[in-house]
Each structure stands twice: as structure tokens, then as C-alpha cells.
Structure 1
Amino acid sequence: MKTTAELVFIPFPAPGHLLSMIQLAKQLVKHDQRLSATICLIPLPSGNNTNLTAAGDDGSRVRFVNLPAVKPPPDTDPSRFMPTILEGSKRHIKELVGSDVARLAGFVVDMLCCTAMMDLGSELGVPPYVFYPSGANFLGFMLQLQALHDEGKLGDLAELKDTESEMAISSLEKPLPCKFLPSVVVEKEWLPLLIDNTRRLREARGIVVNTFLELETYALGSVSVAGNPPVYPVGPLLNLNSARPEEEEEKEEYKEVMEWLDGQPVGSVVFLCFGSMGSFTKEQATEIATALERGGHRFLWSLRRPSEMGITGDPGEYENFDDVLPGGFLDRTSGVGKVIGWAPQMAVLGHQSVGGFVSHCGWNSMLESVWFGVPIGAWPMYAEQQLNAFQFVEDLGFAEEIKMDYRWGSGKIVTAEEIEGGIQRLMTTTESDSRTRKTMNEMSEMSKKTLVNGGSSYSSMTRFIQDVIDNIPST
């Protein structure tokens, strides 16, 4: 069948946003032969750009275009750094569309690119859609905050984060304690940007969300109301091929990790991994090590070295773990645990020996954990992760708390006692007769069924594609 519709994807240049949007593009063109996709890659001046080797290509119907780099002036305020890059990239995207895209059906714009990119659709006469790589819960939360802000009813959220007060959230069944407000909305320099982006996404023709109906039934109901754009839950969008690395160095590390897991009893290992930007100070690493040694559970711990750039930089690898861990820890725990740097997260979560996952609660990691049916130990750090953690612990019952009010960079230390207690509760939930384990296994099966013909996400993707096809501008 001849391709009749070209979608241009504009991802935010961060791993959790970029890789899930690539999966969306690949799923769409696989779903319908009439579609093709162009993915615009916006480079970061720092050079910390995601390696797309594992993302691959989907023949001639998915192509990647590297846009020219945009360098903000040296005196640019940190909160304006990415908006400046996005605004500068807008011109390059218009030039690309004007010269290379023959049958433009629409733009698919990341949630964090809305303010800069939403006007492209009206300027070129095609509909804009928004891709929301976070869950429907966070979408509902931000729509509520934006409405309150525009009505002049939104107070200073930063003043609430250390209080015992609660907030009713339309996308949550239970009130949210303000100490669990997501970090991104209590940081005064970032909240206005999120409010602006949320206001602009209301102008979209539709919002494509990386979630599925069975997981976020309540949250999706709260956002699928009159006045909001249509919402299309099409997840979980996971790159299952990423379970096996491409780089030779990572292949050796992968082999070593998997061989170690092969030697552990079923469901006995707690896996600690904190995302592409997760890292800890020596003081915090010591508390984790103490908790693991005292708790006695088998463990696989991905420990990364903090970047000198803080949360905006990529963590590095330790040359010697003894430099950051308590003396003798590696020798004393050699029979039950393993400390590694880079971790093949998907492959580890899919291994039968893994019974629990201590996670930063990034949305992609949570979807992966659901896919493989592994209960979560919630230790959120930044962005919207505190909200994700509360939803999984309190609303859904798929997780146990490690420390839900933790905020990366706050200087606060999660104690060994808190970590040990959380891991103990988590590993208790992994027992075959536990309610949490049974519920998680049920949701794992649903996550796979939703993507096949007749499933809720499959049907939602069909509706989205039909809207795209029906609204191709006439030539």
C-alpha cells in the first residue's frame, strides 16, 4: 500500500522522552502501512546526546534527521536554556518540512516542546498532536494546576512541600499529601514553563499518552472530559530490543550480569537501578550499602558516579567501587550481591531471579516493571517521580515506599534503616501468595494484551491514525 501520510515527530532531547517517542513512531508505521515518520533530533550543546544505535530504523518509513545545533548565549538563564534551544530549532524544522516532506499530515510534539513548537502546525496548515511520555496521572495533575493558575487560585506550591497538608487531585483517587508534590512543580524556576506548555497542549488536536486503559482507568477518565483534546492511550511503548546491548564493552558487562543472575534462586534478587540520570553521593551510597548488608537479601545494584554538572549531566562509571563503598563491603557481600555500573535494565527485570525493583520511579521504568510483573520499591528523585510513586504505592498497590518525599539535590540522606525497611516490605510482596504480587502479575498480562489486535491500546492507536488520515490537508 502506498504511503499517504507523513508525521513529523519533535521529541524533547532527553532519553526518557526521546526513546519512547521513537517507539511510538515505529509502532504507528507498523500499525498502518499508509503512515511514514520523520523524527527530528535536537542536539544538546553539551554533547550529552542519546545514542540511538539501539533504536534502529524501520526501513524507509521511519527516518531520523539530525538538526543543526543551537547554542544559547553564555549568559542565558538556566531556566531559559532549553526553551532557547527549542525556539532556535523551530526554524530548522520549518526548513526541513519545506524541502523534504512531501505529504505532511501533522506534527507530533513532545509535552515539553509545546510552547516552542505548537505554532508550526498553524503556520503550515497541518494539525499538531502532543505526545505525553509521562502517565495520565501527571497529565491530569498539570491540567488542574494550569487551570488553577489561570484562574488566580494556585498558591505557592514550594511553601507546601514540607507541610502535612493535602491536595485533592482529579487524576488520583486519594488526596495527595503535599510532601509528595512532584519536584518539578515546587521548583519556582521550572513551574512557569510547565504551566505554559500545559496551556499550549490544550490547543492540540489530540494527546497521545504512554499508558494504557487498564493501568490508569481512573486517571484517564479524569482527563477525557469536555474541553480537553481527545486522549489516546497507546502504551506501554517499550523498546524490548534494548534488553541486549550493541556496544562491545556493554556486551561483556551484560554477559557477566546475566550469568550471575542465572545462578540465583527464582524471585530472590532485589534490583536497585535509578535511571539514566540517577546517582548518589558517597554518604548516601554508604547508607544503601549498610542497608543491603544488614538486610541479607540477594541484590544487584547499579551504582553510578554523580556528574559534576549535577542533574543536567550524565552519570559516569566508577573505576573502583571501593572508593565509594564501605571498606570490605564487596568482600563481605560477595556471596549474595553484585555491584555494577551500567545495567541492562530490561533484561534484568525480565530475569526470573529478580523479585523486586528499587527504582527512581521514572515513568518508563515503571511501565517496564509492570510489563515484567516486578513490584517496585519507590524512591523518587526529580521531575514528576514523586507523583508516580504515590500513584503506584497508594492508588494502585504495585509498590512499597522506600522514601517518597526524597528530592535529588536536597542534601537530605535516606537512612539505612529506612532503606532496609522498605526493601524488607518489598521483598515480602514478592512471595507467590502475596496480594501485591498477584495484582502485579495480572497487570503484567494486561499490559501485553492491550497492544495486540482487540486490545485497548491497539484500538486507541487505530482511532488516532484514523484521525490523522481523515484530516490530511487537501493539496
Structure 2
Amino acid sequence: MEKAQLVFIPAPARGHLVSALEASKLLLTRCHQLSITVLILSHSSISSKVHNYVESRRASSSTISNRLQFIDLPEDETESFSFSSFVERQKLHVKEAVLKITQSESSVDSPQLAAFLGFMLYVQKIHDEEKFDPTEFKDSNSELPVPSLVSPFPARVMPSAMLSKVWLPPLLYNARRFGEAKGIIVNTFLELESHAIEYFKMPPVYPIGPILDVASDGRSTHQEIMQWLDDHPPSSVVFLCFGSMGSFGEDQVKEIAYALEHSGHRFLWSLRQTPSVGLLPSPSDYEDPQQVLPEGFLDRMGGIGKVIGWAPQVAVLAHPAIGGFVSHCGWNSILESIWFGVPIATWPMYAEQQFNAFQMVTELGLAVEIKMDYRNDSGIIVNSDEIERGIRCLMEHDSEKRKKVKEMSERSKMALIDGGSSYFG
């Protein structure tokens, strides 16, 4: 085989960077003729955690392979909070960098699930051929016959970006480019998305997942959290965490607190403060979470629950005390929960997460619903009764969903071993 060069251009968000860099390590390990370059997009408003993650991986890249390099593109300091316009401004820098590396492109990498990729291509096709406008379906009860799904897709859980007049055009553009690719690498595995993967003929889809960074050592860096979990029985704690950009206003925080208290379940809650406006706004930790929690909540929950700031999610999900995960349904978070055999209660917020929630609850039967069509910009408050009902269902010890998640956990690991459905060599 001739030497080949692969270029990754991940979005400057931790979830995209993790999957891109973990996929890079796997590809370099399996294919010794391959070299990989990761282009780092940067904006002055991007959080320090993203910068720190990139720097930590850059520092360790020499131990991964001398065939992995990073190129920093010029930092964008434009005072624009539109991600789509940021991407447009980066195109020239990306083109110049890629032309220095290679003169051809043959594959595309997608951090999303295969079913969502099929959904994007379906929407793009009916938009171009039938003048379908997804932005008109925001509150619709219609269902769409998406070929990459077994179940009819309810328009009410259309991804937030597809309901935006600003975001829709670049999404459709991306879908058209996906259709031109010779192949698409997807962070998923056949046993999880067999229908969606088998649907693709042209361009073909190559599942190589689950690609995860599961080696994070949360015990050494977050001893207090891990020691607290050590004091609780197996599968007894519900973990609430809403991703690197997930947060709620004070009224919603109080409803979550009431639900946790009434449920009686032990809990570990990553509570973050709503950020100021930015390109990729990142929540911060509260100096004093009592300012948004119900009066006396922390005192009443002492020993039963723990409220924290940023959470070492992988280390927490790996802990045997965790019995359920209330999640925003980012694809990395879903794959991590499946890997560790922890069932999910879905509470999507932005991006394609509403679609992911539908996939997990309805299509695959691997999750329970709290609010599948929630959007963080809707202003809707999910009441404590709905949240409590979801938590109780999530934490049922002998439920069929819990058993299915445990089975899928084993399949996710088998997919990566020699001869597994995601193995290549």
C-alpha cells in the first residue's frame, strides 16, 4: 500500500476533538503507511478547557506516533457569535493548509451516528428535489419516512439547527458534500446501528467505533468525587451531566432539585452556570450553587446527593456506583454510557441531540425519555413530576432497558477486537 495522508478538521469543541484524536490514534496504530494532520480551528472566545485539551494531546502526540501532527490555523478574533460565519471565515485557511499537505481528498469523517447522517442526506434530497422546508415543521405532528430509520421520524424532534434559517443552508451544503465523498468514516458500530449502516450504498459508510477516550484518570484528579461514589452501593446513584455546553436557568434548576429530592434516589449532579454569549459558549462552575438551589436543599440531601461543578464524565460513568445517566444525548456521551453499561434518561438540548434521543428511546429501545423534544432556547420549563418520573424509570434495577444496555455494552467492546465489526487492519 502506498503512503497516504489524512486530514482531520474537527470543530473547536471538546466532543469533536476527542473523537477526532482518538480516531487518529486508532488509524495510525492499524495503518503504518498513514500520516494524519489535525487542523486546529481557534477563536478568541473558545473556552480554556478546549485549549488545555488540545495542548495536552499535542504534548503526548510524540508517544502516539511521529506520523501525527497538529497545525494551528490563525486565531479568529472577529466579534461575531455565529458559528456558521466563523466556519466561512476559516475556509481559506483550511484550504491553504490542506493544499500544502495533499492535492486530493477521498474520505470524510463524521462524529455523528450513522442514522443522523442518513437523515441529513434525506432532508437535503427532499429539500432540493421537492422544495421541502424543515423550518416549517417546528411544532408539527407530521412524521417523516427517513430511510436510515426503521421507525417514522416525528418532525417535532427535528434537530434544532435544521429549524434555523441561519443554520439550515450550511447543513444542506455539508450534506451535499457528504454525498460526493468516496466513503464516510463514522464513529459507531454495526451492532448498534445495523439498519442505518446497511442502508448506505453510495457513499459507503465505514463504522470504526466506538471511538472513546476511556483512559481518563478521574480518581487522581477528582479524588473527592470518586471517594464519595466509593461510599455508595453498586448501581445506586443517578448521574446528571449535560455536556460541555449544557446549563439551565434558575427556575429549571429548582425543578430538577425538587425531582431529585422527591425521587429518593442517590444522585451526583454536575450543575453549571449559564454562560455569557460567545462562539461556543461554555458554562462555568458556580462559586456557591446554593444561590440557585431551593432553600435548604444541600442540607437535606447531605449524604444522599452531591452537587458538583465540572465532572470527569468518563471516570464517573466507569464507577460501579452509577446506575443511571441523565444526559443531553451528545453522541460521545451516548457511546460512553453504552460502553460502561449505564442506561440513559434523555434530555437533549442543542445540535443533533433531539435526533439522538429519538434514536435511543424509540429506534433502539436503549433509553427512557424525560423530554425528547426539549430545546435549550425554547424557554420551556420541564416540571419536576416529568423529571422524577424519568428518573424512577431510569433507576429500575431489573428493567428490560437496563438488560439491553448491558448486552449492547458487551457488543460495543466485541466490535473493536480482532475480527469485530469495527476492526480493520
Q: Taking structure 2 as the reference length, what is the TM-score of the superposition? A: 0.94
State how many pairs are aligned.
Answer: 418
Mapped pair 1:305 → 2:312:
no
Change (3 A) 1:54 1:296: farther
Residue 213 (structure 2) aligned to one of 239, 242, 263 = 239
Q: Would the aligned equivalents of 1:15 and 1:276 in 2 still touch at CA under 8 Å?
A: yes
Name the structure 2 match of 1:85: 89
Residue 61 (structure 1) aligned to one of 60, 64, 67 = 67
Distance 1:141 1:151 in 2: 15
1:170 Cα deviation from its structure 2 partner: 1.3
Show the 5 A alignment for 1:1-12.
4-12=3-11
Mapped pair 1:326 → 2:300:
no
For residues 75-120 of structure 1, the C-alpha deviation after alignment (integer angstroms, 9 at most, x for no partner) is x6836422323223224414xx53xx5xx5xxxxxxxxxxxxxxxx
Distance 1:153 1:92 in 2: 35
Show the 5 A alignment for 1:104-115.
104=102
Distance 2:30 2:160 in 1: 36
Distance 1:407 1:376 in 2: 18
1:33 Cα deviation from its structure 2 partner: 1.9
Name the structure 1 match of 2:32: 33
Distance 2:332 2:402 in 1: 20
260-269 vs 57-66, which moves further: 57-66
Where does structure 1 differ by over 4 angstroms across 4 or more consecutive aligned residues?
none
Show the 5 A alignment for 1:245-324.
252=221, 254-309=222-277, 312-324=280-292
Distance 2:83 2:130 in 1: 23
Name the structure 2 match of 1:183: 160
Supply the AA of the counterpart residue of 1:354: I
Q: Would the aligned equivalents of 1:136 and 1:211 in 2 still touch at CA under 8 Å?
A: yes
Residue 195 (structure 1) aligned to one of 168, 172, 182 = 172
Mapped pair 1:220 → 2:197:
yes
Residue 403 (structure 1) aligned to one of 345, 362, 371 = 371
Distance 2:337 2:126 in 1: 33
Distance 2:324 2:279 in 1: 26
SS in 1 for 2:215: helix
For residues 283-327 of structure 1, the C-alpha deviation after alignment (integer angstroms, 9 at most, x for no partner) is 110000010011110000000011011683110110011111111
1:45 Cα deviation from its structure 2 partner: 3.0
Q: Would the aligned equivalents of 1:362 and 1:388 in 2 still touch at CA under 8 Å?
A: yes
Name the structure 2 match of 1:453: 418
Name the structure 2 match of 1:173: 150
Residue 352 (structure 1) aligned to one of 292, 316, 320 = 320
For residues 4-25 of structure 1, the C-alpha deviation after alignment (integer angstroms, 9 at most, x for no partner) is 3332222222222222011111
Supply the AA of the counterpart residue of 1:152: E
Name the structure 2 match of 1:112: none
For residues 228-250 of structure 1, the C-alpha deviation after alignment (integer angstroms, 9 at most, x for no partner) is 212111011101123438xxxxx
Identity %: 50
Q: Which runs of 5+ in 2 are unaligned?
A: none
Residue 444 (structure 1) aligned to one of 401, 409, 413 = 409
Supply the AA of the counterpart residue of 1:440: V
SS in 1 for 2:216: helix
1:163 Cα deviation from its structure 2 partner: 2.6
Q: Which runs of 5+ in 1 are unaligned?
A: 105-123, 246-250, 463-475
Residue 158 (structure 1) aligned to one of 118, 132, 135 = 135
Show the 5 A alignment for 1:377-388.
377-388=345-356
Supply the AA of the counterpart residue of 2:289: F
Q: Would the aligned equivalents of 2:81 and 2:278 in 1 still touch at CA under 8 Å?
A: no
Q: Would the aligned equivalents of 1:70 and 1:88 in 2 still touch at CA under 8 Å?
A: no
Distance 1:379 1:422 in 2: 10
Distance 1:268 1:53 in 2: 36
SS in 2 for 1:12: coil
Mapped pair 1:365 → 2:333:
yes
Distance 1:311 1:434 in 2: 41
SS in 1 for 2:284: coil
Change (3 A) 1:89 1:243: farther
Q: Would the aligned equivalents of 1:243 and 1:345 in 2 still touch at CA under 8 Å?
A: no
Name the structure 1 match of 2:185: 208
Q: Taking structure 1 as the reference length, what is the TM-score of the superposition? A: 0.84
Change (3 A) 1:391 1:186: same
Q: Would the aligned equivalents of 1:167 and 1:175 in 2 still touch at CA under 8 Å?
A: yes
Supply the AA of the counterpart residue of 2:215: N
